[in-house]
Structure 1
Amino acid sequence: MTRTTLKGLLLASSILGSAGLAHAEDVTLTIESWRNDDLTIWQEKLIPAFEAKNPGIKVVFAPTAPTEYNAALNAKLDAGSAGDLVTCRPFDASLELYNKKHLADLTSLPGMENFSPVAKAAWTTDDGSAAFCVPMASVIHGFIYNKDAFDKLGIAIPATEADFFAALDKIKADGTYIPLAMGTKDLWEAATMGYQNIGPTYWKGEEGRAALIKGEQKLTDADWVEPYKVLAKWKDYLGDGFEAQTYPDSQNLFTLGRAAIYPAGSWEIGLFNTQAQFKMGAFPPPVKTAGDACYISDHNDIGVGLNAKSAHPEEAKKLLSWIASPEFADIYANSLPGFFSLNSTPVKMADPLAQEFVSWREKCKPTIRSTYQILSRGTPNLENETWVESANVINGTDTPEVAAEKLQKGLDSWYKPAK
């Protein structure tokens, strides 16, 4: 054997040896998600920040199309081929994965102390004994308005219900703008941007939601009917043909400057920032009378859990603890304005509209959408029925009282509150 050949073999074996060593040390974690719009944020900001502090752990973010995610994830989990970390939808879909032993118990994970019980509510067992996903973000409801329109018409930000309707009357009388950009064709818009947006003000947020689950309150009680009475009054301010108006139609009416107020979820912020050519502001759901407590729907949207069959549970837990940290919260919330950190450490938002929404947490009591936990597990599904009745009330085809009776009757047909 010539010396050159020997040298070549030694070099090759040393390269292979070191490659083998590197291979042995590096662990690759895969994150399953439905948020394909987050891909570049993970690749360019989040993963580099984590990997810099955790040499030897590589992270791959592998999203699936949102509509296919639940089915694809369930199939992978059943087959044992799912990633190490699983992005969690709120409430029942993730609870089912935990009950099937697909998700690990994260109650004692370092970092979970950074979240309040409301923040963890979407990924906690019914009895509150176990938490199984790290809360990542929530969306906040309120109203986005065209500042130019308000300035032109001399309208102040409405604080009370009376202020709100006075503002709508002024906008309508002027005739330049549609007062409210919302349609009823897609149903969910009427419920999510309407009923669930203003409702907590009347049923007192978590207090009412908990009482409904316990069976101490009914949807026919005044606190649950009143938001429908308010919604019924919105009809006069929605513009012509609102019954045929889709959710994208509403977005376009507002971003093109044709409507003055948009009943909103904070997820609109990123899109509206790129499309609206006017200054925007936001205000929380108006209170009934001056001095009343203020409530907001600060709805848990996304979390992340540990695949119980992960080959690398210890490394995955390191990543989960980092996702539970203020550092992650700051990067994530500022990269995706409108998807707010649920971490107890407040995140200062660079985007002014996002900062306006998140500032309401300091003065308003947070709650989640009333139909999401426990009450939509049966048939008829209360969430879907609430979509239908919210649209019916605004369209004027059902009175608030009839809508409430239908919803309560549907719930009574299958739901028996735990005593």
Structure 2
Amino acid sequence: MDGMTATRLAFAGLLLASTALPAVAADATLTIESWRNDDLPIWQEKIIPAFERDHPGIKLNFQPTAPKEYNAALNSKLDAGTAGDIIACRPFDASLELFKKGELAAVDAIPGMGNFGPVAKAGWSTDDGKTTYCVPVAAVLGGFIYNKDAFKKVGIAAPPQTADAFFADLEKIKADGTYVPLAMGTPDQWEAATMGYQVIGPNYWHGEDGRKALIAGTEKLTDPEWVAPFRQLAQWGPYMGDGYKAQSYPDSQNLFTLGRAAIYPAGSWEISPFEAQATFPMGAFPAPVPKAGDPCYLSDHVDIAFGMNPKTKDPEAARAFLAWVASPEFAKLYSNALPGFFSLQSAPVDVQNPLAKEFASFRTSCKSTIRSTYQILSRGTPNLENETWVESANVINGTDTPEAAAAKLQKGLDSWYHPAK
């Protein structure tokens, strides 16, 4: 999930009211390619005016394409030599291929790149980490959103911090009978992995340490730390409501925002649409740790970056824009214009939205990590990311045991991935 659904819901109304910026003569005009067509009003009303105010010789033309069409349209433009000067970069392989083809420039020398740590850069760097080709912009965070009224009614004083407390709270909510404890279904599959396995899993495989060990081949998906999150998922089903096996993603969203469920396994992209629809107070908590005293790890997944088309006619202007994107000013502006999309800069950003602020606070108590399947490990067939969707849903549904699910994933990975020893 790259967050586009949430942005669409949050800004659809604004799109209808937006008007094109007037053309103004300038020394340079940069065209920005992006899949975020729902962000158009934000760019027109906030981001472009802020940049042009401080860079009077440069004008920006934000030219988005529909998300599903973006990759194909961008590749066609690049091949024809008609692509814009600035390229919005999706994480990992799609953008890496553009860099390998010479269609994205290295950005290591851009001022401000020191503001980003290795996890932030990972989505837009070569496999060896030596070259970065897009300036990181924002990430989406994983956790749980909860109905504060529901917690109060059933007598839960504070969000759970350990797995045992989490299941004790689910049992309390179920016994009360007013609310479905967990608002999530399994037919779409991706939620079970993205908001289930990938949110709770890092606490077991120790975030980046485990993810990198899996890539290196020193750990396997059948190891205890990788099977453990499946064991937890196997216990979720009884708390997800009678119809969860037929409950779509929009069904789950509606179940929660209508006040019928107590806890929603979430990505931070839900913040704006949930706040627009829910009439009750909401809070958030990170994935509970396996046991008291264990370190906490956060799914802090890279989502969007910006790079430079090497064929731009205005490279200096493009570099000036990218330097601005790497600045604390842009980080604050973007994070607050789009609550739930968090700056990837190392320095904390003052987030104003209360629920987004609560999500952002997870970064101070938990170590950030990206989703385990996204870098390198989903390049072959079977695709590990897609297979993890399937097996996460199967484990919740009870059609595969945690051990069987892990064995299937490792067997599929072994069939094509052979890390250097």
Q: Please say if residues 26 and 59 of structure 2, whose CA atoms lie closer than 8 Å, have aligned partners that are also in contact.
A: no
Task: Kindly state the Cα deviation for residue 23 of structure 1 after the two structures are TM-superposed.
Answer: 8.6
Task: Kindly state the Cα deviation for residue 97 of structure 1 after the two structures are TM-superposed.
Answer: 0.6
List per-residue Cα deviations over 1:337-391 (Å, max 9, x = no partner).
Answer: 0000011221111111000001111110100000000000000000000000001
Match of 1:32? 33
Q: Secondary structure at the match of 1:418?
A: coil
Match of 2:115? 114
Counterpart of 2:32 in structure 1: which amino acid? I
Partners of 1:110 and 1:96 lie apart in 2 by 24
Counterpart of 1:73 in structure 2: which amino acid? L
Which 4+ stretches in 1 moved above 4 angstroms? Answer: 22-25
Match of 2:241? 239
1:14-25 to structure 2, matched below 5 A, reads none
1:7-156 to structure 2, matched below 5 A, reads 26-155=27-156, 156=158
Partners of 1:25 and 1:63 lie apart in 2 by 21
Q: Is residue 2:383 matched to residue 1:413?
A: no
Task: Kindly state the Cα deviation for residue 241 of structure 1 after the two structures are TM-superposed.
Answer: 1.3
Q: Is residue 2:321 matched to residue 1:310?
A: no
How large is the RMSD of aligned CA atoms in angstroms? 1.0
Counterpart of 2:390 in structure 1: which amino acid? V
Partners of 2:274 and 2:245 lie apart in 1 by 23
Task: Kindly state the Cα deviation for residue 104 of structure 1 after the two structures are TM-superposed.
Answer: 0.2
- Equivalent pairs: percent with the same residue? 71
Match of 1:14? none
Q: Is residue 2:195 matched to residue 1:193?
A: yes
List per-residue Cα deviations over 1:50-100 (Å, max 9, x = no partner).
Answer: 111111210011110000001101111111100000000011111011011
Task: Kindly state the Cα deviation for residue 26 of structure 1 after the two structures are TM-superposed.
Answer: 2.2
Specify the structure having the higher radius of gyration (Cα): 1
Q: Please say if residues 115 and 346 of structure 2, whose CA atoms lie closer than 8 Å, have aligned partners that are also in contact.
A: yes
TM-score, normalised to structure 1, is 0.94
Match of 2:331? 329
Match of 1:320? 322
Partners of 1:175 and 1:96 lie apart in 2 by 51
Task: Kindly state the Cα deviation for residue 213 of structure 1 after the two structures are TM-superposed.
Answer: 0.2
Task: Kindly state the Cα deviation for residue 299 of structure 1 after the two structures are TM-superposed.
Answer: 0.2
Counterpart of 1:387 in structure 2: which amino acid? W
Task: Kindly state the Cα deviation for residue 291 of structure 1 after the two structures are TM-superposed.
Answer: 1.0
Partners of 2:209 and 2:387 lie apart in 1 by 22
Partners of 1:104 and 1:171 lie apart in 2 by 53
Partners of 1:26 and 1:176 lie apart in 2 by 63
The equivalent position to 1:383 in structure 2, one of 382, 385, 406, is 385
Q: Secondary structure at the match of 1:233?
A: coil
Partners of 1:25 and 1:250 lie apart in 2 by 49
Task: Kindly state the Cα deviation for residue 418 of structure 1 after the two structures are TM-superposed.
Answer: 2.5
Residues matched between the structures, number? 398
Partners of 1:53 and 1:192 lie apart in 2 by 39
Task: Kindly state the Cα deviation for residue 24 of structure 1 after the two structures are TM-superposed.
Answer: 8.0
Q: Is residue 2:304 matched to residue 1:293?
A: no
Partners of 1:414 and 1:223 lie apart in 2 by 23
Partners of 2:263 and 2:401 lie apart in 1 by 25
List per-residue Cα deviations over 1:292-345 (Å, max 9, x = no partner).
Answer: 101100000000100111111110000000011000000100010000001122
Match of 2:361? 359
The equivalent position to 1:210 in structure 2, one of 203, 209, 212, is 212
| Structure 1 residues 27 and 393: CA distance shift in structure 2, 3 A | same
Q: Secondary structure at the match of 1:226?
A: helix
Q: Secondary structure at the match of 1:328?
A: helix
Counterpart of 2:98 in structure 1: which amino acid? L
Q: Secondary structure at the match of 1:142?
A: strand
Partners of 1:325 and 1:154 lie apart in 2 by 45
List per-residue Cα deviations over 1:208-254 (Å, max 9, x = no partner).
Answer: 00000000000000000000000000011000111111111110000
Q: Is residue 2:191 matched to residue 1:175?
A: no
| Structure 1 residues 149 and 312: CA distance shift in structure 2, 3 A | same
Counterpart of 2:147 in structure 1: which amino acid? N
Partners of 1:299 and 1:23 lie apart in 2 by 38
Partners of 1:208 and 1:249 lie apart in 2 by 33
Counterpart of 2:68 in structure 1: which amino acid? T
TM-score, normalised to structure 2, is 0.93
